[in-house]
């Protein structure tokens, strides 16, 4: 093998090594973005399901249930006994724009919705934000209906 052929072979190996390293970096960055987005979607789905279930239980049993937000913890308690019924951790919980006459950062569901306890007539929303800035919002209106987006619309 001539020195020129050996040099070309080493250059090809270096090029392949660079391509391999760049490929691994692109896959790692893409995976990080995908995992962050999947995390916020999972938190959004779990919280929305919890709020819908709480509304359903309050309406069907005609009783008061209170959803309280403490940092990234969400608790559902019985309105009369204050017994904790459900606890959910939502790591991406960013902001709660829902205040009631019983206190801030809580939603009070009863057999007729949330309007009897709301400070804002039309309800409010809960906002989630991921590490990379992905955002999701859950709106709860005065009837207790839970939907994606802010409520009332901005």
Q: Flag residues of the chain having pLDDT under 50.
A: none
Q: What is the pLDDT of residue 152?
A: 64
Q: What is the pLDDT of residue 55?
A: 95
How confident is the model over 71-114, as pLDDT tens digits?
999 999 999 999 999 999 999 999 999 999 999 999 999 988 89
Q: What is the pLDDT of residue 122?
A: 84
Contact 66, 103 (CB under 8 A): no
List the chain domain ranges: 3-148
Q: Which two structure tokens, joined as six digits, stand for 72?
A: 């990234």
pTM reported for the whole predicted model: 0.86
Q: What is the pLDDT of residue 113?
A: 87
Sheet holding 135-141, edge to edge: 93-97, 123-129, 135-141, 146-148
Instruction: Please check whether the domain covering 3-148 is classified as CATH 3.30.230.70.
Output: no
How far is 107 from 22, CA to CA, in rounded Å? 49
């Amino acid at each position: 093998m001539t020195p020129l052929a050996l040099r070309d072979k080493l250059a090809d190996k270096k090029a392949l090594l660079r391509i391999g390293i760049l490929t691994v970096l692109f896959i790692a960055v893409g995976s990080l973005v995908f995992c962050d987005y999947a995390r916020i979607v999972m938190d959004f789905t779990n919280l929305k399901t919890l709020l819908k279930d709480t509304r359903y239980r309050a309406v069907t049993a005609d009783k008061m249930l209170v959803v309280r937000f403490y940092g990234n913890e969400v608790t559902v308690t019985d309105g009369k006994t204050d017994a904790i019924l459900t606890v959910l951790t939502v790591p991406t919980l960013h902001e709660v724009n829902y205040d009631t006459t019983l206190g801030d950062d809580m939603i009070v569901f009863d057999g007729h919705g949330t309007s009897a306890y709301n400070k804002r007539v039309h309800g409010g929303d809960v906002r989630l934000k991921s590490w990379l800035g992905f955002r999701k919002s859950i709106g709860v209106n005065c009837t207790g209906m839970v939907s994606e987006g802010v409520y009332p619309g901005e």
